[in-house]
Amino acid sequence: MQHFTSVQDVADPMVLVKKALAIKKDPFANKALGLNKTLGLLFFNSSLRTRMSSQKAASNLGMDVIVMNVTQDSWQIEMEDGVVMNGGTAEHIREAAAVMGQYCDILGVRSFPSLSDRDADYSEKIMNAFKAHAGCPIVSLESATLHPLQSLADLITIAEFKKVEKPKVVLTWAPHIKSLPQAVPNSFAQWLTQTDYDFTIAQPEGFELSEQFTKGAKIEHNQEAALKGADFVYVKNWSSFHDYGKVGTNGDWLVNQAKLANTNEAKVMHCLPVRRNVVIADDVLDSEHSIVIPQAGNRVYSAQAVFQEILEAHG
C-alpha cells in the first residue's frame, strides 16, 4: 500500500477487514514493526475518534506520534501554486509538506471541505498536495470527499455483528441543523459497493450523493420502504451534493424505535459525533439496536491494519 486515501488504494477490502479482525485478537503482536518509525497526524479540523484511535493504533505498533493542529499551531499554509505570497499565508504547502515528510514515516491528514465550492472540494487539493510533496505515505484522516478509515471500521463492525452471510445494509440520510460534508456517506457507499452485501441508500429528493461513489447501490427516496428487512441501518446526515452544501432539516427522517419495527432487528450504526434526538432518538441510541460504541472502538483496528500494511510495504 503506497497511500490510503480511498478504497482504490486497497487491493481487496475484505482481506483488509480480516487482517484488522486478526489484529484485534492480538493487538500488540507487531509492537516491533513500528520501532523508530514516526507517525505525523495533521488536523486542519476537529477530531475526537480519529485522533485518539490513530494514536492508540500507532502505539500498539510501537510507533512514535507527532500531532499537530495545523490551523492553530503552525504557520498559515498557502495551497495555491504560482501566487505572490504577500497576504496572510506564510508558508507554501510545497515546503510544509516536504518538511513534514522529513520528520515522519507516515503522515495522516484531516482536511474537511468548504461546502461552498464543489469543484474545489471534489478536486481534493490538500490531500493531493500532500501526496505530491510529502515524499512519504499519506493516510486520509477524512478528506473533503472521503473518510476511508471510518469506512474500514464500519466494514469490520458489520463483519463482527452480521447474522447472515449477505446482510441487508441501509445507509439512511437523517436531518441536521448544520451543513455537513458528504465524506462519510460517499466513502461508506464506495466501500459497501465493493462487497456482495445487499446495499440501499435512502435519502429525500435533492440529497442524492455523487454517482461516482454510489454506482451499484440501490437508491430509495422512501425511508420506510428502504428500512424493511434491514440487518444494519447506518444513519448519517449529509448536505446536498447537487444544491451544494444545502442543509437538510426534515425531521420526518429522524431514526427512532418506531422506524426499526419492520427491520430484521437491525443494528444501528453512526460514525459519531451524533446529535441526539436530531439525527437518532435516545430510544435507539440507548437500546440494544445501537452498536455505535463498538463501531467507534473498531477505529483503532482500522487504523492499525492500515499503518501495518504501509509499514510492511515500506520496511
In the bound complex, what is the minimum distance in angstroms from residue 53's beta carbon to ligand CP? 8
In the bound complex, what is the minimum distance in angstroms from residue 299's beta carbon to ligand CP? 7
Residue with cell 432487528: 265
Q: What sign does the CA torsion over 280, 282, 284, 285 have?
A: positive
168, HSE (Cβ side, Cα atoms, 13 Å)? 16
Question: Residues 123-162: x/- map of binding to ligand CP (CB under 6 A)?
Answer: -------------------x-------x------------
Contact (CB, 8 A) for 147 and 178: no
Strands (E) across 58-105 are located at 64-69, 77-78, 91-92
Binds ligand CP (CB under 6 A): choice among 15, 32, 272, 293: 272
Q: Which is nearer to ligand CP, 78 or 144 (CB)?
A: 144
Residues with Cβ < 8 Å from 293, sequence gap 6 or more? none
Residue 176 in the binding site for ligand CP (CB under 6 A): no
Distance CA 93, CA 6 (A): 22
Residue 47 in the binding site for ligand CP (CB under 6 A): yes
Residue 237 in the binding site for ligand CP (CB under 6 A): no
Residue with cell 482481506: 15
- Which window, 1-9, 28-36, 45-53, 249-257, contacts ligand CP (CB under 6 A)? 45-53
Binds ligand CP (CB under 6 A): choice among 32, 48, 85, 293: 48
Which cell numbers in the block locate residue 233? 441501518
Q: Which is nearer to ligand CP, 50 or 263 (CB)?
A: 50
Residues with Cβ < 8 Å from 275, sequence gap 6 or more? 176, 177
How many residues make contact with ligand CP (CB under 6 A)?
A: 8
Q: Which is nearer to ligand CP, 50 or 308 (CB)?
A: 50
Binds ligand CP (CB under 6 A): choice among 65, 156, 266, 271: 271
Closest C-alpha to 172, from 237, 257, 251: 237
Could you tell me where the DSSP H helices lie in 137-273?
A: 148-161, 183-192, 211-214, 223-227
Q: Which amino acid is at 101?
A: G
- Which window, 44-52, 80-88, 253-261, 302-310, contacts ligand CP (CB under 6 A)? 44-52
Binds ligand CP (CB under 6 A): choice among 6, 50, 194, 223: 50
Which cell numbers in the block locate residue 288? 440494544
- Which window, 19-27, 41-49, 214-222, 247-255, contacts ligand CP (CB under 6 A)? 41-49
In the bound complex, what is the minimum distance in angstroms from residue 147's beta carbon to ligand CP? 6
Contact (CB, 8 A) for 7 and 191: yes
Binds ligand CP (CB under 6 A): choice among 3, 49, 131, 176: 49
Question: Residues 83-122: x/- map of binding to ligand CP (CB under 6 A)?
Answer: ----------------------------------------
**C-alpha torsion angle, residues 223, 228, 229, 231 (rounded to 10):** 20
H/E segment holding residue 71:
helix 70-73
Residues of this chain that bind ligand CP (CB under 6 A): 47-50, 142, 150, 271-272
